[in-house]
Structure 1
């Protein structure tokens, strides 16, 4: 009985001799095609400033969560021996404010609250805008006209005055401020999403899904929103950055987070009058704010280059 293990090689040799095309066997070193997500991650990781921004931002988040563990003071503790303001020392690492509260503990608490507001507003706002804008574009007609009228009306509202009135009436909590920033912060992105979604509604697979009777919410969720995912992702980082700066601005003018709680904006506001006599009260939250906003800007630039197939700044995927 002959050995049949040599038959494939013989057949392939005969095929090669006759000039017949042979199938190429993939080599272990041959590069494979990457899916879209892997390409985006690979391009983002090649952007060193963006990666550095992620690392710095993660360190700031760790500081906000675990930074006060080695400290012997809590943000609402008052040291009577440091009342009137004390410079940095072994007792108070970053000094104490005029009430005798430890500045380091206040800084950890303020960073925590500012990040909470930023991430909550930054994630929820683009999602609302994406759903609202794609819904208007999908249904069109009367739905689009009524929805656009509501959108334009809310854009024209004096948000600063309304937030000031509602914050004073609610006691100035960070949750109330977050909700108000969400309510008044999604309209501009929604209008942009609506314009982009109009071109998606005309695509053949969306028309086919509508013809087959696929429910509207499923088409919006599975076909329209994912196709504007790059815009939503970019708006997340921009919204986080904008929400943190809005919190700082509102707290600085007295309509944001209020005592007994604290935030970076409130700390900057309280220390602005003592910049020359007690500079540590001012520069601690300002430097912390710098280490939040600059990494967010670097991350946003890196995401923009990674998501843009025409951008060459992030290199190729291979």
Structure 2
């Protein structure tokens, strides 16, 4: 049987192959990120830890409050996979709870701080004049405040009025107060350059509401900065939680976090090494995966970066017989 070749079909195929295919920017960024094996590995580790923090409790019949009087300070065993603490509490249950609290603090503080810094910084650049001066003064005053003293007062005996809140929620509030100022200053600088663009000036002349211009024209154009700052903010919040809890001014009992577990076992590393190395390893995996993702996102957003190849579209050839 003879194949009939349609010249019109061949002409259409040539046009498809030779035409420039427009690819959405978000799709290009996604392709570049997925080509970065290190970043994908970081994403996989972070998702695995996130899943572990919510379903890891089903791996053991014990919880973070039940004491096993027959296995006090025991190492890993079939009954307690990661061993028990000096009080006979299952370490796996405590690590699951601590990982969940640390991730929750990091994600909430990282996300809200980016939102606050974007709105505050864009508003400073948009309104300018006296509004910018007043907002900048407030920003500089907050930057000069000693964060560690405020955390100590809020979570210690000086914060009796706030003790009704869970210690992890109180720490989120305190960290959120001090985590957005640096990004807000950078957003202000970038937004001031965007204010000189023609489309922003046209929107102002057309009488579009101010907050609508900020939301639709300024914030989306600094999206790459905000995404990168989100991953950095999550990492910074996790490390701050670990540091404050380690020195005793962060998470308080009965709440548990990775910082609390590391701090409680520091003085007994030789006697109960599993109590120290297990939460420390989880913390390294959590912060390391976020750093790997941040590097991959930075390269994906940078159009001049060639570390992960190009994002050219490949059009499959269609054969007409």
Question: TM-score with structure 2 length normalisation?
Answer: 0.89
- Structure number with greater Rg is 1
Over residues 254-295 of structure 1, what are the superposed CA-to-partner deviations in whole Å (9 max), with x where a residue is unaligned? 011111110000000000011001100000100101110111
Cα distance in 2 between the residues matched to 1:205 and 1:23: 38
1:273 to 262, 267, 278: 267
Over residues 22-56 of structure 1, what are the superposed CA-to-partner deviations in whole Å (9 max), with x where a residue is unaligned? 99963269662211101100111111100111111
Cα distance in 2 between the residues matched to 1:44 and 1:93: 36
Over residues 6-32 of structure 1, what are the superposed CA-to-partner deviations in whole Å (9 max), with x where a residue is unaligned? xx97xxxxxxxxxxxx99963269662
Unaligned runs of 5+ in 2: 1-6, 313-321
Which structure carries more relative contact order (alpha carbon 8 Å, separation 6+)?
2
Cα distance in 1 between the residues matched to 2:17 and 2:265: 63
Distance 1:54 1:29, change over 3 A: farther
Equivalent residue, structure 2, for 1:53: 42
Equivalent residue, structure 2, for 1:65: 54
1:228 is the counterpart of 2:230? no
Equivalent residue, structure 2, for 1:14: none
Displacement of 1:138 in angstroms is 0.3
Cα distance in 2 between the residues matched to 1:160 and 1:207: 43
Equivalent residue, structure 1, for 2:125: 137
Over residues 129-187 of structure 1, what are the superposed CA-to-partner deviations in whole Å (9 max), with x where a residue is unaligned? 01100000000000000000000000000111011101122346111101111111100
The SS at the match of 2:107 is helix
Unaligned runs of 5+ in 1: 1-7, 10-21
Question: TM-score with structure 1 length normalisation?
Answer: 0.90
Distance 1:30 1:258, change over 3 A: same
Equivalent residue, structure 1, for 2:139: 151
CA RMSD of aligned residues (A): 1.8
1:40 is the counterpart of 2:29? yes
1:284 is the counterpart of 2:293? no
Cα distance in 1 between the residues matched to 2:187 and 2:308: 26
